[in-house]
Amino acid sequence: MSSAEFDAIAAAPGRVNLLGEHTDYNDGFVLPVAITQRTRVAMRRNGTDSFSLHALELREAVHFSFQSAPTEHFASYVYGCLALAKEQGAEVPGLDIEVSSEVPMGVGLSSSAALEVATLRCLRTLLGLRMDDVLIAQLAQRAEIEFAHVRCGIMDQMASSLASTDRALLIDTRSLERRDVPLPQGSAVLVLDSGVPRTLAGSGYNQRRSECEAAARQLGVKSLRDVRRLEDIEALGDELLRRRARHVFTENARVLQAVESRDAAAFGQLMNASHASLRDDYEVSTPELDFLVSLLQAQEGVFGARLTGAGFGGACVALCAKDALHEVAGEVLAQYMAKGYDGRQLVP
């Protein structure tokens, strides 16, 4: 991707979530960190009123216009960003658009949010738009909901737009207040792919969101963020809704505990508890994810580990001793693959 060939180029990172899973669409707290892998989007005016989109890694080219939306799913993210920029008052010309990405797809590292944020950043540069990073995240979230039809919270887009790779970002997803949180001293983040495609992530994600909304209605609150006592949740008559709400309540508490902790071991224990909650109360884990997490948790150099992302497959995140990170990755992957699974290291 040469800058000489295009009028504007922009990039945005993927993210890994350390704590706060499935809390963002419940107006709760999340703690993501950006990863080094990025998605790059380049644009040039083409003198027409239509768009040509070329995704290098997918080896796909798509042509569409505002009057004729693309049918290809990956293109819907880009189309949504273009349409929402136009809705904001931007005069969006016909464009040739090229996308190149290092962010692994389908493993829970927010490749879609990186694409959306990079697209909006590129439009901002190309057209001189007055959009700050929070508005970019909000438009990116709308693009995913309204055009890709995934009822996501705003964590992924906020992380891609605002997070850095060396500090976590605490986000209150209701107010969008945020602050940087240093990682515990001497620790580093490791991400391993379970090799299990997230085949149920879309449908399961939307189902969990609906269940949370039903639980909130039964509890008489706007969202599960507003529940003040665990006892109220335990009194719910519907056992499934009780478990879903219990995960959200306890996960919010874990995030708030973690940001006040400077101790890696204590932080790791919160990650371990998060995985158990996601496995048992939220039911978004898989046997492969559970096995990979158990291998990580058994390592002396690991403080804690859990699945990350929506679940139903994808990746695990571990907080490791910095000087043991590569040894841990090699040992765990060797044990995992010895059982016939296909894992790989994604971060760092």
The structure tokens 């963002």 sit at 24
DSSP string, 288-299: HHHHHHHHHHTS
DSSP string, 57-98: TTTEEEEEESSS---SHHHHHHHHHHHHHHHTT-----EEEE
Length of the chain: 348
| Cα 250 from Cα 149, distance rounded (Å) | 28
- Catalytic: which of 27, 96, 156, 193? 156
Class of residue 237 by CB neighbours under 10 A (exposed 0-12, middle 13-18, buried 19+): exposed
Paired tokens of 103: 């962010």
CA 188 to chain centroid: 19
Catalytic site residue 156?
yes
Paired tokens of 141: 């979230």
Range 72-75 contact pairs with CB under 8 angstroms and sequence separation of 24 or more: 73/148, 74/115
| Cα 198 from Cα 312, distance rounded (Å) | 5
| Cα 36 from Cα 190, distance rounded (Å) | 12
Contact 216, 224 (CB under 8 A): yes
| Cα 72 from Cα 65, distance rounded (Å) | 13
Q: What is the CA radius of gyration of the chain?
A: 20
The residues annotated as belonging to the active site are: 156
